[in-house]
Amino acid sequence: MRSRHASPLQISLLEDRTTPAVTASLSGSILNILGSVTTPGDIITIEHQGAGTFEVSDGATSVGTFAKVTTVRFTTSGENDTVLLDLGGGYTGQVVGNLGTGDNALTINNGTLTGNITVISGNGNDSLNLDSNIKGVAVFNLGNGDNTFAHKVGLNITGTLALYGGSGNDTIVSNGLTTTSRLVVAFGNGENTIALENTTVNGTLGIGGGLGTDSVLLDNVTVAGDTSIQLVGGSDDTALIAKSQLLGNLTTVAVNDLTLGGASSVAKSFLIYGGNTRNDVTINGDVTLDVRFSLPMMAGNLIGNSNINVGANSVIGRDFAVSGTLISQFGTNVLINSGAKINRDFLYTGTNSDDVVEVSGAVTRNLGVATRGGNDTVIIADNATALIGRATFDLGTGDDFLEFNRDIVGTSLRLSINAGDGSDIVSLGATASIGGLTNILLGAGNDTLILASDHTGQLTVDGGAGSDTVIFEATATITGMNVNLGAGDDLAIDNGAVFGGTTKILNGGSGIDTANALGFLTVTKVGIEIFV
């Protein structure tokens, strides 16, 4: 009987059947790509090889080649993924991407995408580098995290470009971008930086930020439509508009430090809505229509003064209007520098705190200042451009100071001053000449009125209650007046003014009133008890 010997077991090597973590499949003409790379640090490459054919790779491993693709759709997992979309010289179709959570990076390059692209990402520090032109709508939502966006110089988007971010410190750097439609940049809470340089937007531009310190720079930017910058919620947000031409309206909301640079212009109106914290506005550029600044009506928690400065070479084509708030404990300060020009009206409504208004630049038509409460200072400096409208001042309660040194031409126009209650000082300087009526109401308090100005029309003064002082300087020429010093022990001094006209009355009112004996020789004096 033959013995049987079992053959020894043999072990042979099998071929490598490791399945890549990235999978790809074709559903109709939609290329679906899922997962993350097998080896951390590798790149998911989606490469267009022409005519709608794509090869997908997981690092150096090919996942497959797919033809007749009209839509590329990729979704990564929660790893730190890097995705390269290589357009292979150009691709016509749609792109939809979801980078998921993790610190992700997406680069799009090598040709033009003709079609729309939408990419979203979850939590993580993501970066987007766009080196391809897009003929379509491009929407990128980078989610929460410290995200960055950059692109090649000369990037062209034939459509709308929208960039969104959530909470985190986001950075948007754009140099040499052109869009044929809208550009939207909106980010959430965090310290965000948005810099647009050498950029042309042939639609509207919208920029937004949430809580945190945001910084916006527009440098050599042209916008065909309206521009909006809203940085709501921060306490130290800045926006600098330099060497830019904004061809529509410019609207800003809650920008703490806002500058319109000297080589910049706004073709329509500049609308400034202040926030509940410090509001500093500098205007060195030109605005074709109106400039309007307003504080929120319920700014009871306002922290810090609002300061508005109009530079020496600025031209405002129509009205400049400032509106404060009644319930703020901080004032609003406005400076219109010499050399600036407001081609129509300057209208100011202040706060219940201490306001400062100084107008040295030209105002062509009407000038109206209402400071409300507080100890306010208003200075209207001399300027070669006369007002061809009315000048109206309502100083409200408080110890206020008003100095007026400007001409008002036309006999039908007038100067009206209501100093309000408090110990006020009102001075009409030697360079002021009033062609129409002048009405001055000093209100209750121990007030001082200094008249060094010329008045072609009738001058009417009501001193109100209190011990007031009225001084007529030698430079003054008064053509008709009716001055009533009101209740209180008042003092009237004539330092050599010229009194003309048919009506020239100085009435001391009630109280023990005093006038200098050598003055007012041609004036009818009533109720003056003491001459010194």
pLDDT of residue 326: 54
DSSP codes joined into one string, 431-445? T-EESS-EEEE--SS
Q: Report the DSSP pairing between strands 459-462 and 477-484.
A: parallel
Kindly compute the dihedral angle of the four CA atoms of residues 373, 377, 382, 386, in this order, to the nearest 10 degrees: -10
- For residues 348 and 99, give the distance between their C-alpha atoms in angstroms, rounded to a whole number: 52
- Which residues contact residue 105 at a Cβ distance below 8 angstroms, ignoring those fewer than 6 apart? 81, 82, 83, 126, 127, 128, 129
Residue 476 burial (CB count, 10 A): 23
SS3 content of the chain, % helix, strand, coil (to 5): 0, 50, 50
Distance CA 240, CA 285 (A): 12
CA distance 22 to 45: 10
Q: Residue 215: what residue type?
A: S
Residue 121 half-sphere exposure toward CB, CA atoms < 13 A? 34
- The three state secondary structure string of 158-188 is CCCEEEEECCCCCEEEEECCEECCCEEEEEC
Residue type, 455: H
- Tokens for 523, please give them: 């004036």
Ramachandran class of 469: left when φ > 0, alpha when ψ lies in -120 to 50, beta otherwise: beta
Q: How big is the chain by its Cα radius of gyration, in Å?
A: 36
> According to the model, what pLDDT value does residue 413 have?
76
Strand partners, 186: 164, 208
**Amino acid residing at 528:** I
254: left (phi over 0), alpha (psi -120 to 50) or beta: left
Query: Contacts from 136-143 at CB under 8 Å and sequence distance 24+?
Result: 137/162, 137/181, 138/162, 139/164, 140/164, 141/165, 142/166, 142/170
The torsion angles phi and psi of 71, rounded to 5 degrees, stand at -140, 130
Which of 68, 71, 86 lies closest to 30, judged by CA? 71
Residue count of the chain: 532
- The reported pLDDT for the residue numbered 329 is 59
Q: 207: how many CB neighbours lie within 10 A of its CB? A: 24
For residues 465 and 482, give the distance between their C-alpha atoms in angstroms, rounded to a whole number.
17
Structural contact between residues 460 and 440, judged by C-beta atoms closer than 8 angstroms: yes
Torsion on CA atoms 433, 439, 442, 444, rounded to nearest 10: 180
Q: Supply the pLDDT for residue 11.
A: 43
Averaged pLDDT, groups of 10, the chain, 532 residues long: 48 44 96 94 96 97 97 92 97 96 95 97 93 97 93 95 93 95 93 96 95 94 98 87 98 95 96 85 96 71 76 94 70 92 94 92 95 94 93 97 94 90 98 96 98 96 98 98 97 97 96 95 96 94
**What is the pLDDT at residue 2?**
46
Both tokens of 371, joined, read 């400071």
The two three-digit tokens of residue 121, written as one number: 């990402």
Query: 394 with 378: CB under 8 angstroms?
Result: no
Closest C-alpha to 148, from 101, 205, 193, 85: 193
Q: How far apart are CA 376 and CA 358, in angstroms?
A: 11
b/e string for 32-62 if b means 16 or more Cβ within 10 A? bbebbbeeeebbbbbbbeeebebbbbbbebe
Provide the total of helices (H) and of strands (E) in the chain, helices listed first.
0, 58
**Rounded-to-integer distance, Cα 157 and Cα 112, Å:** 10
